[in-house]
């Protein structure tokens, strides 16, 4: 792509679509291993399969758990920048239109939650609002705010209170109780209605509290902002400067990840106080995930420039272009495959068989996306989201310059 890519209307940047396709693929594989939040390990499986299950589980979670979500968050902020910048160049203020766009995304997430309680669209729709007050700030200030959020200030607040205030009591872990309650309807009913009602109430709160307790309410907005900064700096537009940036990012991310991961791994051995361990685990798990996410992103961008590897990676582009449709359909297919109202395969599949099912679903979805985009510019849900976003509300407000 040429260096004058940011014209009046920014052309699609293919590496972003391919990278988004990688993130959606990884999310799908992990969800299949987890039976879409229906955690169950069949006891009857032969011992060699159980050993293989553990290897597959540990490997995929090391590679993608917390990282694919982080990539998706980064690209969410990048997409906001592209839309905001395109409208700014036309003299329009995109911010209120973006609020409406997030409201539509919230509705998509609400429907998706009927099938899968771990939906992230609703959370993105709420947390994405933070981009509105920062979108006109100087990049330096956006970077400071994003870095502050990425530090997970709430966890440091807990940590220092545990350390210096003997009367301090950590907030109760509420997600575990909700996840426990989920098993009432997951294991006790064959009715889709029971599952849907349970997901929208019990399962939804389980996901919300888990995200809060694991720092996602701070990490996600930070990554949104970093994605916006990447757009401003044209880091995904291929040039000598951007390639140099990703090479440095890869090196620094590797240097950061190794001690962060090691410290996270050995925390329970180094520190006796369980409350301190739990608080620091959240912080260092988040930081190690983000650093490894940068390793994945920078490696992907750099490999994308290699002709032989590019021929493989570009096949992910249709999947990335239809990420909303793909993510939504994953929930429908996955819940039918694993939950009791469908095939109920949670009872028979460990990580090995879950991975096989996930790969098959990915290939089927990729084939569908490739076929669909031969005759359509957007995926079905992308088309609906786009059309609903641009429903006429009268004359657009003019852009506010920074």
Structure confidence by residue, pLDDT tens digits, 323-354: 999 999 999 999 999 999 999 999 999 999 99
**How many C-beta atoms lie closer than 10 Å to residue 138's C-beta?**
10
* Contact present, 42 and 348 (Cβ < 8 Å): yes
Q: What ranges in 90-138 are assigned the alpha helix state H?
A: 95-113, 121-127, 131-134
Give me the mean pLDDT over the 115-121 stretch: 93
DSSP letter, residue 4: T
Q: What is the mean pLDDT of residues 99-122?
A: 95
Which of helix, strand or coil describes residue 49?
helix
Which candidate, 218, 209, 206, 211, places its Cα nearest to that of 156? 218
- Please give the DSSP secondary-structure letter assigned to residue 314: G
Q: pLDDT tens for residues 209-219?
A: 999 999 999 99
pTM exceeding 0.75:
yes
pLDDT confidence bin for 397, thresholds 50/70/90:
low
3-state secondary structure of 398: strand
- Closest by Cα among 40, 35, 38, 33 to 62: 33
pLDDT at 170: 82
CB 130 within 8 A of CB 218: no
SS3 88: helix
Query: For residue 3, what pLDDT is reported?
Result: 36
Task: Tell me the C-alpha to C-alpha distance, in Å, between residue 125 and each of 134, 164, 221.
Answer: 16, 37, 11
Q: Supply 128's token pair.
A: 């994405």
- Cβ of 240: how many Cβ atoms within 10 Å? 8
Report the C-alpha gap between 325 and 319 in whole angstroms.
9
pLDDT value for 41: 85
Helix axes 139-150, 216-232, angle to 10 degrees: 150
Distance CA 259, CA 225 (A): 25
- Quote the CA–CA distance of 291 and 285 in Å, as a whole number: 10
Are 322 and 369 in contact, with CB atoms under 8 Å apart?
yes
Asked if pLDDT for residue 7 goes beyond 60, the answer is no
Residue 197 CB contacts under 8 Å (≥ 6 apart), including other chains: 185
Task: Find, among 390, 391, 395, 399, the residue nearest to 90 by Cα.
Answer: 399
Task: Give the pLDDT confidence score for residue 394 in this predicted structure.
Answer: 58
pLDDT band at 393 (very low <50, low <70, confident <90, very high): low
Average pLDDT over residues 312-323: 94
Q: Is the pLDDT of residue 5 over 50?
A: no
Provide the pLDDT confidence category of residue 117 given band limits of 50, 70 and 90: very high
Looking at the DSSP assignment, which residues form a beta bridge with residue 398?
Answer: 92
Dig out the tokens for 243 from the structure: 């390639």
What pLDDT, on the 0 to 100 scale, is given for residue 172? 83
* Distance between CA atoms of residues 396 and 145, nearest Å: 29
Residues 398, 88: Cα–Cα separation, whole Å? 8
Report the pLDDT value the prediction gives residue 106, as an integer from 0 to 100. 96
Predicted confidence band of residue 11 (pLDDT cuts 50, 70, 90) = low
What is the predicted pLDDT for the residue at 269? 87
How buried is 334 (Cβ within 10 angstroms: 0-12 exposed, 13-18 middle, 19+ buried)? Answer: buried
| Interatomic CA distance for residues 249 and 294, integer angstroms | 7
Q: What is the pLDDT of residues 156-173, one digit of tens each?
A: 999 999 888 888 888 888
pLDDT at 91: 87
Indicate if the pLDDT at residue 6 is higher than 70. no
Taking CA atoms, 123 is separated from 106, 144, 217, in Å, by: 8, 23, 8
Q: Which pLDDT tens digit goes with each residue over 242-288?
A: 999 999 999 999 999 999 999 999 988 888 888 888 889 999 999 99
The pLDDT assigned to 396 comes to 54
pLDDT at 2 over 60: no
Q: Which of 25-39, 167-181, 349-363 has the lowest mean pLDDT?
A: 167-181
Q: Is residue 9 over pLDDT 50?
A: no
CA distances for 339 relative to 99, 186, 188, angstroms: 34, 7, 11
Phi-psi region of 35 (alpha: psi -120 to 50; beta: other; left: phi over 0): left
Residue 188: predicted pLDDT: 87
If you ran DSSP here, which 8-state letter would residue 129 be given?
A: G
Q: What burial class does residue 164 get, using C-beta atoms within 10 Å of its C-beta: 0-12 exposed, 13-18 middle, 19+ buried?
A: exposed
- Tell me the chain's radius of gyration from C-alpha atoms: 22
- pLDDT averaged over every residue in the chain: 90
């Amino acid at each position: 792509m040429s260096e004058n890519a940011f014209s009046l209307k920014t052309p699609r940047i293919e590496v972003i679509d391919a990278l988004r396709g990688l993130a959606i693929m990884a999310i799908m594989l992990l969800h299949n291993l987890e039976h879409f939040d229906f955690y169950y390990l069949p006891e009857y499986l032969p011992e060699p399969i159980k050993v293989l299950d553990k290897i597959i589980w540990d490997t995929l979670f090391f590679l993608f758990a917390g990282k694919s979500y982080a990539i998706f968050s980064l690209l969410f902020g990048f997409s906001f920048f592209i839309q905001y910048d395109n409208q700014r160049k036309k003299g329009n203020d995109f911010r209120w239109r973006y609020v409406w766009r997030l409201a539509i995304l919230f509705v998509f997430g609400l429907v998706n939650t009927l099938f899968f309680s771990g939906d992230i669209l609703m959370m993105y729709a709420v947390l994405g609002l933070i981009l509105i007050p920062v979108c006109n700030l100087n990049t330096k200030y956006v970077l400071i705010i994003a870095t502050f959020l990425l530090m997970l200030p709430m966890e440091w607040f807990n940590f220092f209170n545990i350390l210096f205030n003997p009367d301090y009591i950590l907030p109760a872990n509420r997600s575990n109780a909700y996840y426990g309650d989920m098993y009432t309807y997951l294991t006790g009913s064959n009715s889709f209605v029971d599952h849907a009602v349970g997901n929208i109430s019990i399962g939804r709160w389980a996901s919300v509290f888990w995200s809060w307790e694991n720092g996602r309410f701070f990490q996600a907005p930070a990554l949104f902002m970093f994605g916006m900064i990447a757009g401003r700096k044209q880091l995904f537009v291929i040039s000598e400067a951007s390639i140099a940036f990703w090479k440095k990012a890869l090196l620094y991310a590797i240097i950061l990840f190794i001690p962060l991961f090691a410290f996270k791994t050995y925390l329970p051995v180094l520190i006796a106080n369980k409350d301190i361990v739990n608080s620091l685990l959240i912080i260092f798990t988040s930081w190690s995930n983000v650093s490894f996410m940068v390793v994945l992103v920078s490696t992907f961008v750099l490999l994308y420039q290699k002709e032989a590897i590019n021929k493989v990676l570009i096949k992910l582009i249709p999947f990335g272009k239809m990420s909303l449709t793909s993510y939504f359909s994953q929930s429908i297919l996955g819940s039918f495959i694993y939950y009791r109202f469908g095939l109920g395969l949670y009872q028979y599949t460990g990580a090995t068989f879950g991975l096989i099912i996930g790969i098959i679903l990915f290939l089927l979805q990729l084939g569908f996306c490739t076929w669909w985009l031969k005759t359509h510019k957007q995926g079905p849900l992308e088309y609906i989201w786009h059309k609903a976003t641009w429903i006429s509300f009268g004359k657009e407000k003019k852009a506010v310059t920074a």
